[in-house]
Amino acid sequence: MTFLALKGVQKHFGGFRAVEDFNLDVERGEFVSFLGPSGCGKTTTLRMIAGFELPTNGTVEVDGVDITYRPPNKRNVGMVFQSYALFPNMTVAENIGFGLKVRKLPAAAIRKRVDELLELINLGGKETRYPYQLSGGMQQRVALARALAIEPQVLLLDEPLSALDAKIRISLRNEIRSIQRQLGITTVYVTHDQEEALSLSDRVVVMSEGRIEQVGTPFEIYNFPRTSLVARFVGTLNVLTARVVDAAAGRVEVDGQTIRTAGPIAGAQTGDMVTIALRPEIMSLDEGAAGANQLRGSIDDITFLGAIVRIRIRLAGDGVGAGGGGANAGGAGGGAGTVVFDTFNNPHLAVPQRGGSVTLSFPPEACLLLEQSSAAAAPDPVAEEILAG
Ligand code: ATP
């Protein structure tokens, strides 16, 4: 059942459209992330749920009640910011209990709730410390406890882990997820980190230029991105421009080499250019099964990433039609006419040599045909910069 609903929400700053036609139903207890490049409207949307911004149009409802014009302190919403925003002159216990004190709860009830939350965030015994005496990770756990103290109907987190180092980020993200599950609290989480969104969420909302690009489970978003923006933003992916050779047979040409997609290419004519996504982990460097696609090339670069070995291959074709470039993430980015291929490491892996000729194989089903992005009509320079890696 829908618990949080955003209906036709828009936010314009003067003539600038920061959020456009945003429609989303979030189930009770669901964990939803807003994912997208800087400036795509994630924080603005979150702030409209919190009441810090008023929508230009549309409504925000929680549990069937329209709260669009309620001030923040009259909504039962908890918010965690990137910057922790703890009160520096208050102890951990005073910070956590702040919202309860404002609501004039008796001191004994506040103490009991603070103790429960200290236990929940594993900071028992630290209640008399001040924020400056805590690490960044501890401070963010206090901020989370403070947001949870008022037993909010909805928990909102705005890039809460961005200021922390990689190891703490991963442990705190697991902690946030486990606390969220334990409490069953409806949560909206803003991030531009695809791994964070995929690992934490029940559903991910990929945004671009103020619009929803795709909503889906992490599995759907990663495996079946609908547009090239989603495909490029979620994971390391080859996005290739291909020329249609035979639309009915699903045959296209990439860099002068012909491959097949899984089925007919709807609405395309011979000679049209289409965009195809290919996951690096779906390919192999052997002959492949009967009917597999093959692309010839030479090894341009090999990056050892621990569990994964990433190999960049320059296609051996005529340079026509592969302009989409290689994978975007992890710094392995390709460029025109290159494809990135990932293989699992093992100590006996026969790693090929740079410059060596190879044939990449992959099944036709691995070729995802992408739709035009809803924001693609006018390329977003910020998004392009991020997607370029
Ligand atoms: P980031 O990850 O960088 O925080 P975001 O996706 O959260 O990005 P928002 O902060 O929601 O993006 O901003 C969306 C757009 O709206 C940006 O172009 C931003 O400059 C603009 N914007 C946000 N707040 C205001 C404001 N008060 N006045 C004018 N423009 C604004």
pLDDT in tens, 82-106: 888 899 999 999 999 999 999 899 9
Q: What is the DSSP letter of 87?
A: -
Residue 86 alpha carbon to ligand 1 centre in Å: 23
Residue 366: which of 288, 313, 272, 270 has the closest Cα? 288
C-alpha closest to that of 117 among 196, 165, 201, 185: 185
Centre of ligand 1 from the C-alpha of residue 275, in Å: 30
Whole-angstrom CA distances from 79 to 4, 153, 157, 171 are 15, 11, 6, 20
Low-confidence ranges of the chain (pLDDT < 50): 320-335, 376-389
**CA 297, CA 255: separation in Å to the nearest integer?**
10
Residue 49 in tokens: 């749920």
Which is it for the CA torsion 137, 172, 196, 283, positive or negative? positive
CA distance 145 to 80: 9
Please say whether the beta carbons of 321 and 256 come within 8 A: yes
Query: What does the pLDDT read at residue 187?
Result: 97
Residues with Cβ within 8 Å of residue 222, at least 6 apart in sequence: 198, 234, 235
- Cβ-based neighbours of 80, under 8 Å, separated by 6 or more: 140, 143, 144, 147, 155, 156, 157, 158, 160
- The DSSP secondary-structure symbol of 292 reads -
Which residue has its alpha carbon closest to ligand 1 atom 20?
39
Q: Is 118 helix (H, G, I), strand (E, B) or coil?
A: helix
Q: Whose CA is nearest to atom 3 of ligand 1?
A: 38
Q: Ligand 1: residues whose CB is within 6 Å?
A: 13, 16, 18, 36, 38-44, 192
pLDDT tens, 292-319? Answer: 899 999 999 999 888 888 999 998 875 5
**Closest by CA position to 389, among listed 347, 330, 349:** 330
The alpha carbon of 333 and the centre of ligand 1 are apart by a number of angstroms equal to 27
The 8 Å CB, 24+ separation contacts for 48-52 are 48/6, 48/9, 48/11, 48/19, 49/4, 49/6, 49/77, 49/154, 49/156, 49/188, 50/75, 50/77, 50/79, 50/156, 51/75, 51/77
Residue whose Cα lies nearest atom 18 of ligand 1: it is 39
In 3D, which of 205, 206, 278 has the Cα closest to residue 238?
Answer: 278
The pTM for the full model equals: 0.84
Pocket probe for ligand 1: among 17, 40, 208, 211, the residue whose CB has the most ligand atoms within 8 Å is 40
Q: How far is the CA of 227 from the centre of ligand 1 (A)?
A: 23
Strands (E), 36-185: 57-62, 65-66, 77-80, 154-158
Instruction: Give CA–CA dist 196/54, Å, rounded.
Output: 28
Atom of ligand 1 nearest to the CA of 210: 14
User: Which pLDDT score, from 0 to 100, does residue 228 have?
Assistant: 82
Q: Of 46, 27, 21, whose CA–CA distance to 35 is shortest?
A: 46
Ligand 1: centre distance to CA 81 (Å): 15
User: Residue 14 Cα, ligand 1 centroid: separation in angstroms?
Assistant: 13
How many angstroms separate the CA atoms of 365 and 128, rounded? 59
